[in-house]
Amino acid sequence: MNTLVVTRLEWRRLLVRPLAWVLAALTLAWLGWNFTLLLGSFLAGQIQRAALPDGPGFTDLVAVPLLGQLAQLAFLVVPLLTMSVIAGERRNGTLPLLFAAGVPASRIVLGKYLAILGWLLLWLLLTLAMPLTLAHATHLDWGKLAAATLGIALMLAALAALGVACSSFASHPAIAAAAALILALVLWSVNLGAQMTGINGGAINWLAMSTHVQPLLRGLVSSADVLWFVLLIALSLALATRRLATDKERG
């Protein structure tokens, strides 16, 4: 129950701060504009594609690329959203209020994480609503779209967990945001060197987030990829919990 109280408190704080609204407005406007461009390009090439028996459809050319754009924006948006969740509380001096209410560190972390996750999933749903508005007028590959949505949702969840962990270790929200951004970029492209030399397997490729997102965006759901995200989320939240518990120990 404590977890939901913390979630509710964090959600409320998120809604009254201008940052979340500004981020939502700017990114949705950007994604709306890109959706229009992708749709224009899709309509322009419709005649040529009609000649291809198995050519790419609306899902491949509009819906999934739009989700890809959201994924790119997430590298900036998620660190900005998560930077204050714990570092901000630490600076305000309000963290002891939660400790003194008998809320364990794990529930504080989980509660805050769920609030951020709620915002991010809403953001994803609003983005997804753009291609879905044309579902009646075009042929959607529902399986591929569901896999791509799952991939982006897992990516957002992982970035949020990483952001919460960075916020728990940082003394200042800006440091938390910078650390979360750098870690996310490193995690995304850690296998870049290996890819350039033609190595497509091994631990370095397994470590990279891109290795696990791209198959999902292509419509391939593998339990190994899902497990990778679950592991990253669990590890990040466990580290955040440990750090917060240390805060209480150290004072």
Query: Which residues are near other proteins by CB under 8 A?
Result: 2, 5, 8-9, 12-13, 16-17, 92-94, 96-104, 248-249, 251
Residue 40 in tokens: 């224009």
Closer to other proteins by Cβ: residue 38 or 98? 98
Closer to other proteins by Cβ: residue 103 or 226? 103
Report, in Å, the least distance between residue 243 CB and other proteins: 15
Q: Please choose, from the candidates 189, 168, 174, 137, the residue with its C-alpha nearest in 3D space to the C-alpha of residue 248.
A: 168
Closer to other proteins by Cβ: residue 53 or 251? 251
Closer to other proteins by Cβ: residue 119 or 188? 119
Report, in Å, the least distance between residue 205 CB and other proteins: 43
Helices (H), the chain: 2-16, 18-44, 46-50, 58, 64-82, 87-92, 95-100, 105-132, 142-169, 173-189, 192-196, 202-207, 209-217, 223-250
Q: Are 2 and 103 in contact (CB under 8 A)?
A: yes
Closer to other proteins by Cβ: residue 68 or 104? 104
* Rounded CA separation 121/104 (Å): 26
* Rounded CA separation 160/45 (Å): 37
Closer to other proteins by Cβ: residue 54 or 249? 249
Report, in Å, the least distance between residue 123 CB and other proteins: 20
Q: Please choose, from the candidates 20, 37, 29, the residue with its C-alpha nearest in 3D space to the C-alpha of residue 70.
A: 29
Report, in Å, the least distance between residue 5 CB and other proteins: 4
Report, in Å, the least distance between residue 1 CB and other proteins: 8
Report, in Å, the least distance between residue 101 CB and other proteins: 4
Report, in Å, the least distance between residue 59 CB and other proteins: 40
Closer to other proteins by Cβ: residue 107 or 212? 107
Evaluated on CA atoms 224, 222, 206, 148, the torsion sign reads negative
* Rounded CA separation 168/241 (Å): 8
Residue 13 in tokens: 């704080």
